[in-house]
Amino acid sequence: MRTMDFLQQELDELKERHLYRKLRVLQGEQQATSVIDGKKVINLSSNNYLGLATHPRLKKAAIAAIEKWGVGAGAVRPIIGTMEIHESLEKALAQFKHTDASLVFVAGIAANRGTIQALIPEEEDAVISDALNHASIIDGIRLTKAKRFVYPHKDMQGLKDALKKASGSRRTLVITDGVFSMDGDVAPLPEIVELAHQHNAFVMVDDAHGSGVMGPHGEGTTFHFGLQDKVEIQMATMSKALGVLGGYVAGSLPLREFLIHKARPFLFSTAHPPAVAAACLEAIRVLEEEPEHHQKLWENTKYFKGELERLGFDTGVSVTPITPIIVGEAATAMKFSDLLFVEGVFAQSIGYPTVPEGKARLRTIVTARHTREELDKALIALSKVGKTLALLTT
Ligand SMILES: Cc1ncc(COP(=O)(O)O)c(C=O)c1O
């Protein structure tokens, strides 16, 4: 129909700008070496940091939950979708984050949208956000009428200026990713918390990529800095290091109760199937009882990051298992990814609007499941393609 001609026109535009993506399809489990589009490749693009997505204990917990409670929750949480397993999970998450309470949403994106919109809905409120915060935070901000201030990435003078401009607001929320998802760097939480509190603002940290990764046992970025008692709202997902699905917010009991009454994605979206909640609960237990996954993740991270730098790639400012290889143009990043695939390695290219124009990259993530042999094979392929594309000198 002609009224929808814009669809193809815009898709063609994306192709011209090398931003058109074909979905890759994973055949089988999410593993360090996976079959993708019919080819066995070393997988450097999954967020399955600890390998829990395929852990036998999680699978067993999910199957047992299906046998016991069925496959669906049957209602939204506030009607009659809250099952015992949901509450058990929320108690475990609160314990994990050393908070009084927590509340689970169906996904991290729902947790961010719902929490931000509920906390600072009105024009007399203010929200202050890092320029590189995740899209789900940006969406949450778009849903409020609050005055918004975006400070340049990790720029504390910028934050200070924004706090001054926001002074006099009814409520001020300062929000930051803990680990930034495209660059793998970490927010300067001590300074952020201090400045926010000096200006009577409260802090929310999105630790989607920090939970299970940062901190002595994977508790998160707030724990990495010893700030778990100072950050009012610790948000994270269970879809990455925990290997399953779901977002959550950990904090005070009034925070939980407030969100139960006001967060729209909580109010108006069906609860997780019991199998999801049971697998998430088991993931937290595994994290506590099997510290070897967390240790191995960091061992692999240090090795791989060190070798990429030694080869001469521009890996930006990452200090976490997310290591970008910055190449500049989207077309180069796409070519890099395609040639690597031929060499048996999958690393997704990322371009605008996910990262700024001119900062296109391959985004690599190592997991606890990669063996040294797999990492070495990947490094050989990266080096070969890097030279072919003149990103590395021969
Ligand atoms: C920083 C950050 N926040 C939130 C999300 C959304 O989480 P989910 O995938 O659970 O919706 C993501 C994941 O893509 C993320 O990287």
Question: What does the pLDDT average to over 283-301?
Answer: 98
Do 196 and 300 fall within a single domain?
no
As a whole number of angstroms, the longest Cα–Cα distance in the chain is 64
Among 160, 156, 116, smallest CA distance to 135 is for 116
Share of the chain above pLDDT 90, in %: 94
- What confidence score (pLDDT) does residue 66 get? 98
Are 279 and 339 contained in the same domain?
A: no
* 209 Cα: distance to centroid of ligand 1 (angstroms): 8
Q: What is the CATH number of the domain that holds 39?
A: 3.90.1150.10
Catalytic residue, chosen from 55, 134, 209, 296, is 209
pLDDT grade, residue 18 (50/70/90)?
confident
Whether residue 220 sits in one domain with residue 118 = yes
Which residue's CA lies nearest to atom 10 of ligand 1? 108
Find the 137 Cα to ligand 1 centroid distance in Å. Answer: 9
Q: For residue 109, report the distance from its CA to the centre of ligand 1, in Å.
A: 6
In ligand 1, which atom is closest to the CA atom of 134?
A: 1
The answer to whether 97 and 142 are in contact (CB under 8 A) is: no
Query: Which whole number is the average pLDDT over 286-300?
Result: 98
- The protein residue with its alpha carbon nearest to ligand 1, atom 16, reads 181
Report the C-alpha gap between 85 and 307 in whole angstroms. Answer: 43
Q: Is 209 an annotated catalytic residue?
A: yes
Shared domain check, 227 and 88? yes
The predicted pLDDT at position 3 comes to: 92
The conformation of residue 52, written as its DSSP 8-state character, comes to G
| pLDDT score for 21 | 83
Active site (annotated) includes residue 181: yes
**Predicted local distance difference test score (pLDDT) of residue 394:** 66
Q: Quick one: pLDDT band at residue 133, thresholds 50, 70, 90?
A: very high
Q: Can you tell me the mean pLDDT for 276-289? A: 98
Mean per-residue pLDDT, 311-332: 94
The answer to the question of residue 146 being in a domain is yes
- Answer with the one of 264, 289, 314 that is the final residue of a domain: 289
Q: Does residue 8 lie in a domain region?
A: no
Identify the weakest region by mean pLDDT among 16-30, 84-98, 207-221. 16-30
Tell me the mean pLDDT in the region 326-335: 92
Domain membership flag for residue 4: no
Residue 1 has pLDDT above 90, yes or no: no
**φ, ψ at 139 (rounded to 5°):** -60, -45
233 found inside a domain: yes
Count of positions (residues) in the chain? 394
Over the chain, what is the mean pLDDT? 96
Alpha-carbon radius of gyration of the chain: 21
Do 134 and 234 lie in a common domain? Answer: yes
- Pocket flag, ligand 1, residue 108 (CB < 6 Å): yes
Q: What are phi and psi of 178, to 5 degrees?
A: -75, -60
Is any ligand 1 atom within 6 A of the Cβ of residue 109?
yes
Residue that terminates a domain, selected from 270, 289, 308: 289
Among 49, 239, 354, residue to substitute to test ligand 1 (most atoms within 8 Å of Cβ):
239
Asked if 342 and 369 sit in the same domain, the reply is yes
The distance of Cα 262 from the centroid of its chain, to the nearest Å, equals: 24
The reply to whether 10 falls in a domain is: no
Find out whether the beta carbon of 386 lies less than 6 Å from any atom of ligand 1. no
353 preceded by a cis bond (ω within 30 of 0): yes
Residue 109 CA: nearest ligand 1 atom is 11
Q: Give the pLDDT confidence score for residue 224 in this predicted structure.
A: 98
Residue nearest to atom 8 of ligand 1 (CA): 108
Whether residues 309 and 384 share a domain: the answer is: yes
Number of domains in the chain: 2
Per-residue CA distances from 189 to 7, 201, 213 (Å): 42, 14, 16
CA of 105 relative to ligand 1 center, distance in Å? 12
Establish whether residue 247 lines the binding site of ligand 1, counting it when its CB lies within 6 angstroms of any ligand atom.
yes
Q: How far apart are CA 348 and CA 362, in angstroms?
A: 6
Position 297 in a domain: yes
Do 327 and 381 belong to one domain?
yes
Same domain, 285 and 297: no
pLDDT of residue 335: 94
- Are 92 and 238 within one domain? yes
User: For ligand 1, is residue 136 a contact (CB within 6 Å)?
Assistant: yes
Assess whether 74 and 112 both reside in one domain. Answer: yes
Instruction: Enter the tokens of residue 5.
Output: 């001609």
Dump the DSSP string for 336-375. HHHHHHHTTEE--EE-TTTS-TT-EEEEEE--TT--HHHH
Assess if residue 393 is contained within a domain.
no
Q: What local confidence, expressed as pLDDT, does residue 352 receive?
A: 83
Q: How far is the CA of 14 from the centre of ligand 1 (A)?
A: 24
Q: Tokens 């019991």 belong to which residue?
A: 274
Q: What CATH number does residue 202 fall under?
A: 3.40.640.10
Domain extent for 355: 20-49+291-388
Residue 385 is predicted with a pLDDT of 97
Question: Which of 234, 262, 289 is the last residue before a domain boundary?
Answer: 289
> What percent of the chain is modeled with pLDDT above 70?
99
Query: Would you say residue 158 has pLDDT above 80?
Result: yes
**Residue 25 clears pLDDT 70, i.e. is over it:** yes
Which ligand 1 atom sits closest to the C-alpha of 247?
Answer: 10
* Cα 143 to ligand 1 centroid, rounded to whole Å: 17
Residue nearest ligand 1's atom 12 by CA: 208
207 CA distance to ligand 1 middle (Å): 9
Average pLDDT, integer, range 67-71: 98
Cβ contact 334:18 at 8 Å: yes
Indicate if ligand 1 lies below 6 Å from the C-beta of 140.
no
169 ligand 1 Cβ < 6 A = no
pLDDT at 357 over 90: no
Note whether 92 and 195 are same-domain residues: yes
